[in-house]
Chain A
């Protein structure tokens, strides 16, 4: 599975940066982030087109 089995820490011991660092290094996290950014661009386009 994509992005799910790399750099696994030992159970109960988190690396430097804690769980936030793990989230940011998780490939699966960045897919929704990119889609969210693209959605905001589409929304901006629609509202700009409406204003014209």
Chain B
């Protein structure tokens, strides 16, 4: 549960750099640069925390999950590109709750495919379904507000882009759950997830830019802003990592709504730091604030519907079926499901490879930071610092709790 809430804070903070789209950058360049930042972080963080030999041992146990991880990465890249268009057309504070409808679809897939909520009592069913309906109500209020806030020509396109991103992200949780029921460590999953992410994003960027040469020209022209987007990608990875742990230990039906509190953080960044909704009518502001509160209440109700013993038994049965289907060692699956390290994954140390990965990623970020210019849009730096400190405090607390209980298993 703590992982889900921390994920919300970091995923919300990571969307702030997409506001740079309004300063004239192409959505494709924004998305590609973020994915490159994501790629750097998705290899350096696992290398730093567990080491690449740990990841290799994990993959030997369940090699089929490489395909699922790459597929999930492709889904993420397409959804992320759609969100860039959505933010540009209807604004961050409106687009966020629309694509956060992904949790509704995630709940559906969790129940249909992985036995989540099976064996749960009526109170828990009511909590999850009622919470989902509250979130839908909140999203609807925000969509109504978008019709008056955004320019009429692009509002429909922006809403469709945001909803499509929500459907894609909601479906992306199928590979997530598949991997974690089998027993894979989130750090191993994201290392291959990002291969699909970068490959798909590169294909999209080349295709949408009209070829390699025009894309390179666009990237070169944007080089002074690239650091902020790379940093946005790194921040996203931190949030996504906690989201992965939330899905692993709380399931899709609880973990995703909790991490979707990023909508509230997005609203805070949009309104307090970027001055969104300034000059909006009283009715628009009321819709946005009430819609956000209702959505957050829905997420809270879902979070309080904790997993019962009966439901846990269904999860274990689903995990056992996954293991049997793909011939995965039963001890590995059950140990990882309980947050313990199986014998096959023990005694792996970081090697020189891990330090090279970390050093290369850090050097790349420092190089882009050296040529970066401050974004040319109005920011409230006081609020930006306050929100940044709050998210850092959440990171420290959650990482400590996760290390103490699971050793990042």
Contact = CB atoms under 8 A, between A and B. Distances in A.
A43 B64 contact: no
A39 to B, nearest CB: 4
B327 A13 contact: yes
A4 B64 contact: no
B167 interface: yes
Given A12-B327, A39-B75, A22 B318 contact: no
A22 B64 contact: yes
A46 B157 contact: yes
Q: Is the interface of A mostly helix, strand, loop or mixed?
A: helix
B326 A22 contact: yes
Contact of B171 (A9, A11, A31): A31
Q: How large is the interface on B (under 10, 10 to 19, 20 to 34, 35 or more residues)?
A: 35 or more
A8 B75 contact: no
B319 to A, nearest CB: 11
A5 B321 CA distance: 7
B82 A19 contact: no
A5 B208 CA distance: 41
A50 B74 CA distance: 23
Interface string B312-331: 00000010011111110010
Contacts of A29: 67-68, 71
B321 A2 contact: no
A19 B327 contact: yes
B112 interface: yes
A8 B56 CA distance: 26
A31 B71 contact: no
22 contacts: A1-B113, A1-B318, A2-B112, A4-B114, A10-B327, A11-B324, A19-B327, A29-B67, A29-B71, A32-B71, A32-B174, A32-B175, A36-B75, A39-B82, A39-B164, A42-B161, A43-B164, A43-B204, A46-B82, A46-B160, A49-B157, A50-B157
Interface of A: 1-5, 8-14, 19-20, 22-23, 26, 28-29, 31-33, 35-36, 38-40, 42-43, 46-47, 49-50
Given A11-B323, A29-B68, A43-B204, 14 more contacts: A4-B318, A9-B324, A14-B326, A14-B327, A19-B63, A22-B326, A28-B113, A31-B171, A31-B174, A39-B75, A39-B78, A43-B81, A43-B164, A46-B160
